[in-house]
Structure 1
Amino acid sequence: MIWSHYLLQVNIYLVVFYAFYRLLLDKETYFTLNRIFLICSGIFSLAIPFMRVDWFSKQEISQQIYVQVEQLNQFIVQTGTEAVEQKFNWGNVIVMIYLLGVAFFLIRFTLQLLAVKKMLKGIKSGLAFSFWKKKVVAQNLPEVATVNHHEDIHIKQLHTFDVIFFELLGIITWFNPIIYLYKETVKSIHEFLADEAAAKFQGDKEAYSMLLLNQAFGVNVNTLTNGFFKKSMIKKRIFMLH
């Protein structure tokens, strides 16, 4: 399979699956189901193009069409070689831009990992976040036991796996705006799941909502981590909690 064709199909499936999610699941409070759907959407988007190739390769008619198309392509290439050589090759430019984008986001991802490693070595006042099996919770936070439980949920449910998966997927699909919606949505679902458990732990949804609201101006942390205080999510987290 040609890489460009595969990449195009992956991005199309990502759009289709996310559109389905927004239309039917976005307002639902089945957070675990929503999380599974989004992860499967990413996995299936990567896998389906291979499945389609395997299926079509078994069809005799498709094989005949493929041969005819290949013959036509060879004819076009042979007859148009001189004309193409004289023109600017936009295909190479697009490939170079794509590879530069991949390199940029790969370097960015690596730097973020190094930043997380550094953050895990020290506890900053007012900070609370988790990454894989490690967490950082400042002891000067109000309701620190509840915040600790919130971060424990992130760890137990392996939320970092989702974040890393979509970050890696985003490296090869960086030009597709939908991938950034996937990242934002899956992180929101992580917070809804942890909030739901933390509110039960505290025993009072209203009190937990006030805890979120009072800490709305907390410290922003690395995008690879699951942070307790994320300013942009506070309003929706309180809404989904009820």
Structure 2
Amino acid sequence: MEAYLIRSSICLVILYSIYRIFFKNDPHHQLKRIIALICILFACGFLFIPLGGLMVPDTYPQMMNVVFMQGSEGIQEGLSKIITDNMTNIYLVLYFIGMSVFALRSLTGVATIVKWYVSSDKIKKWGFTVAKVDKNIAPFTFFNILFIGKQEFHEEAMKALIVHEQYHKHQYHSIDTVLLELLTILYWFNPVVWLFQRDIKTEHEYMADEEVLKKGFDVLDYQYLLFQTRTGVSLNLGSNFSSKVNLKKRLHMMNKEKIKTKRSYIKALMLLPIMGIILVTSGFLEANNNLSLEIKALKSKQSLDTLPGNLRDQIENEKLQFRIRGNANTTGVTPLFILKKGKKEEKISPSFMQSLKKDQLKSVFVLKGESAIRKYGKEGKNGVVIIELKKDE
């Protein structure tokens, strides 16, 4: 689990950095919202795409396995760097404590909304279920429910508020809000998640403000209305007027000239190869992780079955020896032994193989299955052991 959290968090950081560089001042608010959500969903889901076995199917992991050699300095050094189980447990405990705190925070917000809904008078109006709360809160929408406080607005101001909240409803901004809340619970430790949440909520407000002005409402009157509505109670859940979106930025965006070009869509398409690179890199990391886990298992067993149920490597009396052990039958099978010298290869006998000492070996690889047969023909049907000696041998 910790590996998933770390890798997906790194992906979030990379994609947010690119998102900010490409789209910081872009006027396409809806496009920015969609791209940000795609970045989040990709970062959370790309590790579930099984590319590890597809990146190099002929060579790893089914074609080639490193034979574990007891006392190998390189392997021992790598294994010594693995985080201990106790340390991992401490990290997980801290993670779940933080997750519980932020989950409680969000549940408190949901409970407050439920309480207001249950205790309020409700009517069907403006396409909403309108819940009138006996508190001084700013109007906000949560899915199909419009919460309004006891503060009174004149007719024109109320029309502007309704247009604003209808836009939030029609664009399903509450779904974004719930998704972002879940994300901050799972990735509470990653500041990029909070930045994504801030940016997406800001785009929500920019779009809703833009919709109000498109309907012909006066800019100055609407801006004054924003100051009035920010005096209410603020919730972390729900797309509402009093959300913690910088009012100064919203006012500036209303007065800013917006020139929309096709360059925004070109920049959006540029994210595809970047995501592709992340996928490929993840595939290689997955393959490498599989090898690390395999070597770790070998360390505890002190042996490895490198062919399906047949071939086992065993180190004994300072010699690398191979003995074949059948599973369903008692007939032994012998793999093909190959000595590699640079680009040249030559067959060697099992007795020569058994005479080698571990300090003579530079590397030992095993090919099995279709990969071995494809390269060495019928002789490779029982597997192929390829060894390379140190240069002084």
Give the alignment's TM-score, normalised by structure 1.
Answer: 0.83
> 1:203, CA displacement in angstroms?
3.0
CA offsets per residue over residues 37-74 of structure 1, 9 Å max, x none?
111111100121222xx2221223341699549999xx
Residue 130 of structure 1 aligns to a residue in which SS?
strand
Matched, 1:137 2:171: no
- Contact (CA 8 Å) 1:202, 1:208: kept in 2 or not? no
Distance of 1:69 and 1:201 partners within structure 2: 72
- Contact (CA 8 Å) 1:11, 1:176: kept in 2 or not? yes
**How well do the aligned residues superpose, as a CA RMSD in angstroms?**
2.8
Of the three residues 36, 39, 42, the one matched with 1:41 is 39
- Contact (CA 8 Å) 1:218, 1:230: kept in 2 or not? no
Matched, 1:111 2:108: yes
Alignment of structure 1 residues 73-222 onto 2, 5 Å: 89-121=86-118, 122=120, 123=133, 124-138=135-149, 140-142=152-154, 143-212=157-226, 214-215=227-228, 217-222=230-235
Distance of 2:181 and 2:31 partners within structure 1: 21
| Residue 222 to residue 64, structure 1, CA distance change in 2 (3 Å) | same
CA offsets per residue over residues 65-121 of structure 1, 9 Å max, x none?
99549999xx759x97xxx9xx99322211110111122222222222111112334
Counterpart of 1:239, as a letter, is H
**Rg larger for:** 2
- Contact (CA 8 Å) 2:139, 2:229: kept in 1 or not? no
Distance of 1:153 and 1:192 partners within structure 2: 11
Distance of 1:69 and 1:118 partners within structure 2: 64
Counterpart of 1:89, as a letter, is N
| Residue 31 to residue 88, structure 1, CA distance change in 2 (3 Å) | closer
Name whichever structure is richer in strand by fraction: 2
| Residue 164 to residue 230, structure 1, CA distance change in 2 (3 Å) | closer
Distance of 1:239 and 1:17 partners within structure 2: 27
Q: Give identity over the alignment, percent.
A: 26
Aligned to 1:4: 2
Name whichever structure is richer in helix by fraction: 1
- Contact (CA 8 Å) 1:154, 1:226: kept in 2 or not? yes
Distance of 1:62 and 1:190 partners within structure 2: 47
Distance of 1:148 and 1:136 partners within structure 2: 11
CA offsets per residue over residues 145-191 of structure 1, 9 Å max, x none?
11111111111111010111111122111110111111111111111
| Residue 90 to residue 69, structure 1, CA distance change in 2 (3 Å) | farther
Segments ≥4 residues shifted beyond 3 Å? 64-72, 229-232
Moved more, 200-209 or 12-21: 200-209
Residue 63 of structure 1 aligns to a residue in which SS?
coil
Distance of 2:249 and 2:28 partners within structure 1: 15
Aligned to 1:55: 51
Matched, 1:30 2:21: no
| Residue 30 to residue 95, structure 1, CA distance change in 2 (3 Å) | same
- Contact (CA 8 Å) 2:138, 2:232: kept in 1 or not? yes
Distance of 1:154 and 1:49 partners within structure 2: 32
Distance of 1:231 and 1:181 partners within structure 2: 12
| Residue 220 to residue 20, structure 1, CA distance change in 2 (3 Å) | farther
Distance of 1:171 and 1:100 partners within structure 2: 11
> 1:205, CA displacement in angstroms?
2.5
- Contact (CA 8 Å) 1:137, 1:148: kept in 2 or not? no
Residue correspondences, number: 229
Aligned to 1:224: 237
- Contact (CA 8 Å) 2:137, 2:231: kept in 1 or not? yes
Counterpart of 1:20, as a letter, is I
Distance of 2:109 and 2:164 partners within structure 1: 23
Give the alignment's TM-score, normalised by structure 2.
Answer: 0.53
- Contact (CA 8 Å) 2:209, 2:254: kept in 1 or not? yes
Distance of 2:26 and 2:206 partners within structure 1: 11
Distance of 2:107 and 2:252 partners within structure 1: 35
Distance of 2:17 and 2:113 partners within structure 1: 32
Distance of 1:182 and 1:147 partners within structure 2: 26
